[in-house]
Structure 1
């Protein structure tokens, strides 16, 4: 009988390859390899020495030394909570794995931790924020620049009630109340009823009686309701205004639109109108020249008697800032009728009319 034995060279080659792949898998995915313990292994007692090594190689020597002096006082202070120190150690390890540098990375992170402590924000929000930071920093393609963006947003929320912004644009909440939520690995800012204000280079706009959630990764605000007025166009806040339900804003910009808004202009209409609303930050030199907010009514056939004294109007309607815009079509133009001594004096038809309150 002949025994069939495997070719030793092929067998060993196959075994070695298999062992090699298992070895590589264990190295890449074992916790001890995936994350260093550069800071944690020395604990709180060794943190100052380790962080000093990071800052010593910075080219900004004076700035580094000044910050280290300030941070040492913070670290050694008996008022600095242990919870804050624990989070600093954890996230410093993750930043080390990302090859973070003294400036801006560690400096921005550590100074943000100081703000949390200084503003007495070591609470549930802080711990949710910590979980989000760890979740993000554990992602291979989440780089320090992304974390720095999150840090800058966080500082604004805690320090200034600045919740988001883009180039030349800043959105603020006028209520200090907020909460963080980690929803499907996404850090979300929740605001109870507040007033939102958008500041841009030239001016500002406001949204009243609003609440909602802000995705801090995308800058998308999902509001549950809101109200805007035409005060800056020269109208009383309780006479000309718009209310609306769910709406969204990309807070990297300074404008937004709302479908199915409800509009009130009590100078001209007895009841509300429904339509599209658009608002945008523009420089307003005087109320009469304002172009926003804009409201476009879905209903485009109105009969308004005495829209001004002795003047009747028939046609569509829009409100663009201070301007009442009457609109029509080639087939059905808008019509202005001037009455004198209870009799039609003159009638004018056009595809568009522009009126201002008490002026024509």
Structure 2
């Protein structure tokens, strides 16, 4: 069969992130099953118009506002596809109205308040309005999402057919859960693209609150992005340059080692599609303390695999860390359950079901697709 992924970014785009990482895993798995797989994305400066990776043919054309037309022109010259995957990042490709074949929509999160973070004022409200209007327009198109939160948000916008198929995790769980005594200082970690919507400044402020409580704490920030300089300036203003360490992006092995030594992952994003780094931390025996937002309330089960604070405030993160610090037995039980749960989200567990579901849609076997969706419900 022939599959096409439409995504604004491809894995080699400088702005590629977790969405492209997991999308590549799914498309690679389809290719390994013997299917033809194509990926069309925006062009960017210095980018080749075509390349191949892992047997997948990558095409680039157009930019913001023009890549849909470039994709349409390219598409009309191709043999018929069995399934087109229209991946939204705030704005869709409108593929159901021009692809002439079966189509599913794929989104990681409903952006909602994230629009206001990047586009304050009227422009942000316009973004939210068009996103909601787009979901209404797509209400009869099957959607594929990585979390129950995103499914609920789409259903609230009138979408009728939404299937939750979880993302896999590249981080293999530790073979054995090693001891991690709660001895000071509290070792905290953030693993994130340093963008405004990730609110890494809240994690830095949480360190300040812990120190005010008399609890020694240190924070390692893994990742890079536009907010790196402002975040370093914040740490300096707060007098936390000795407690906050910025590593920049790290190779997987080094990132995993940082996760392994930490006591807690902090995640204070505005909203997530899932929160993959939560499962990565869990695989390394590290539970997370997270904000009560879409995606994070799915990747973290409160009181069982981590903790979800009541309000989106840095002092709430500090309060939860301090409370758990005084309950080592509860901490140990939680981190063990998190480690065990991470095993259920390894790629070898996830990929077969997702590929089966995509193949069922390519064959228009909707009964089979629904049965597969029911099979994954227990993973949550």
TM-score range, shorter chain: under 0.3
Structure 1 or 2: larger helix share?
2
Taking structure 1 as the reference length, what is the TM-score of the superposition? 0.22
Structure 1 or 2: larger strand share?
1
**Bigger Rg, which one:** 1
Taking structure 2 as the reference length, what is the TM-score of the superposition? 0.21
